[in-house]
Amino acid sequence: MEDYDSASGNYLQTTVNVFNFVYSKVYFFDHIYLYISGGSQFISVRIFFKKYPFVEDPITGPVDVELFDKYLTWIRKRLLVRHENKKNNEDRYRKKMEAFENDADYTYNFGITVVENKNWFYQLSMSGQLWNDEHIDVIFYYLRKKGKYDTRSTFKYTTVDCLFMQKVDQTYLAYNNPETGPNVANEEDDICQYVKGHRLHANVPWHSVDNILIPVNIKEDNHWILVVLSFNDSYDRRLYVYNSYRGGAGHNVVVKREIQKLATLLPHYLHISGFYTKKIGINWMNHPAYMDMSQNENIQVEYVENLSQQDTNSVDCGIPTQIDAKMIRTRYDALLWDYAARKIDEHAMSNIQAPPKLVRPAVDYDKVDTIDVT
């Protein structure tokens, strides 16, 4: 349940835990009122109604030159002379200045994480720097919020986080382990909860969208690829793999190994979660993705061809050679920085920054459905 029902205009009250204190949270006009349980004190916090920073397309959308100049001035402040020679996990700023000048005023809250170190922004914006799981998770979190709340878009999607593939890895190991037994998938598994719309902030059930965006890290090559589980084309069940790096036979083997995990396991979790009974419009009788096939059969995989490729020695994943990688990375970073900075300046917080998990019905574990994936 959302705290504020904008459709009806009703202001709802809920209880939350903030900084280890229990508060009652009430929305009224443009403020959130936090009432300390057991006391009489109200704390008024302004609501920041902008739900995500990527309003326009960060790649092809209009360029806010003034914002970028302001951000570049900030990110370059106190940089070491030889900052470009530092390794990925080393500080690039003068000693004791990698943290922000005043932690109380420069703690950047991105909903799923709090950033207190300027090197985080440096790694995100500077060409040649590796993005870690936290960078990917923040970007995919705001893409997920945009997919949920942007009513203008006809592209219906949601995203997962980097932990999702770790759960897939763990389950796939059990799937290939003869000692584990045949029943490795059940309704209470973490993967199933992703499908149902639980676990993540701003998540939605997969049956309510047509595309699920999955970031996959190819650790052997320090490379990220994008996998899209799509039901968009006449609800054709397919995994589309977007890979901007052609690293030879060894690289292709590793990529196919990761994709095989998804193609094998996801059908069972779609089935066990009730996805197919809830997804409207699936053509069971005539569509080749379903006709005469078991719901548990592997998902078809399509490696998207003719993608522009990044330089062989580049770590700017997904950015082809003809595009200015530094500019693209700076645009993402500047938009994130400005979004969080505006909330600080306005002493505001997002009213749906971290939507609660969907209510899950009680499960009788003696009757939990399981799937044999042998």
CA-to-CA distance for 343 and 108, rounded, in angstroms? 9
CA-to-CA distance for 308 and 305, rounded, in angstroms? 9
Please say if the pLDDT value at position 18 is more than 70: no
The pLDDT value recorded for residue 276 is 87
CA-to-CA distance for 47 and 329, rounded, in angstroms? 29
Average pLDDT over residues 278-297: 78
What lies within 8 Å, CB to CB, of 51 at 6+ separation is 145, 146, 149, 350, 352
Paired strand residues for 183: 372
DSSP letter for 84, please. G
Q: Give the DSSP letter string of 298-358.
A: PPEEEE--S-----TT---TT--TTS-HHHHHHHHHHHHHHHHHHHHHTTEEETTSSPPPP
**For 30-60, how does the pLDDT look when each residue is reduced to its tens digit (9 = 90+)?**
444 444 444 555 555 677 778 888 888 767 7
The pLDDT value recorded for residue 41 is 54
CB atoms within 10 A of CB 133: 14
**For 220-242, how does the pLDDT look when each residue is reduced to its tens digit (9 = 90+)?**
878 888 999 998 765 678 999 99
Taking the whole predicted model, whether its pTM rises above 0.85 is answered as no
Please say if the pLDDT value at position 259 is more than 60: yes
Which of residues 289 and 153 earns the better pLDDT score? 153
| Edge-to-edge strand ranges of the sheet holding 21-28 | 13-18, 21-28, 31-36, 42-48, 348-350
Q: Name the 3-class secondary structure at 362.
A: coil
The helix (run of H) or strand (run of E) holding residue 71 is helix 65-76
**Token pair 């759960």 in the structure block, residue:** 167
Please say if the pLDDT value at position 100 is more than 90: no
Give 258's pLDDT tier (boundaries 50, 70, 90). Answer: very high
Question: How many percent of the chain have pLDDT more than 90?
Answer: 31
